[in-house]
Amino acid sequence: MREILGRRRGLRFRRSGRHAQLDAALTCATGWQWPVVPGVGHTASAGRECGCGCPDPECAVPGAHPFDPGLLTATTDARMVRWWWTSRPEAPVVMATGGRAPCALSLPAVAGARALVALDRMGVRIGPVVATPTRWSLLVAPYSLERLGELLHAKDWVPSSLRFHGEGGYLVLPPSETGKGPVWWERAPAPSPAARQLPGAGGSGGVRGAAAPWLPDVETVVDALVEASTGAPGGGSKLAY
């Protein structure tokens, strides 16, 4: 994983074990001002698939969503974050998308991997990418539903499996573990070039002085995804899972 907040912070963010989720939650909440809330978590039984900690026995996203506390309690307050993850150190880190926090676009894992290759070939700068065994999510700068609607309306075709995580939505962040498996950074967060040049950026002065990761504009990513899709063999069917 690329170092993102100076050597000391980068190493701490990669730490495994009991405090990994707490460290990640504090980095997101107090360093980057991304509101977080603990996910419900998952349950496992010998010889059975992992289930969700919520009451729904057929939960479609086991362990990968907030429940109690709910999404509306997502916060950037360090004291609350510490209390939550001290009480439940293995809880997934769930970010409330939109507002001042990133939004995201997600695709099935295989399609997402192919999309990233296409984006790289097109020279499009990509921000953080969250990966799970089933889906990959590209983090983008916050957008409004109205702006997103305008962008999609202007397209002749959009992959049917492309999902949008905006205001009122959420996304599970690394290093969480859900009923579908681990969550990891396929592309690690990195500060903007300007932030790297600021005196003391990412130093040892604590998480609050950290520069938030650079995020691309949603229009850039949507255009690139659609272009990559329509330019693929078979009219883009490789991305339309």
pLDDT: is 148 or 47 the higher one?
Answer: 148
Instruction: Give the pLDDT band of residue 27 (cuts 50, 70, 90).
Output: very high
- Residue 239 domain flag: no
In a domain, 109, yes or no: yes
Integer Cα distance of 4 and 8 in angstroms: 10
Question: Is the residue at 238 inside a domain?
Answer: no
Give domain status of residue 237, yes or no.
no
Comparing 7-11, 67-71, 80-84, 192-196, the range with the smallest average pLDDT is 7-11
Say yes or no to pLDDT of 81 above 80: yes
Residue 1, in any domain of the structure: no
* Burial of 82 from C-beta contacts in 10 A (0-12 / 13-18 / 19+): middle
Tally of structural domains, the chain: 1
What's the pLDDT band for 113 if we cut at 50, 70, 90?
confident
- Out of 19-28, 88-97, 100-109, pick the least confident: 100-109
Percent of the chain with pLDDT over 70: 75
123: left (phi over 0), alpha (psi -120 to 50) or beta: left
Strand partners, 139: 104
| Domain hosting residue 136, numbered range | 6-230
pTM over 0.85: no
15 falls within a domain = yes
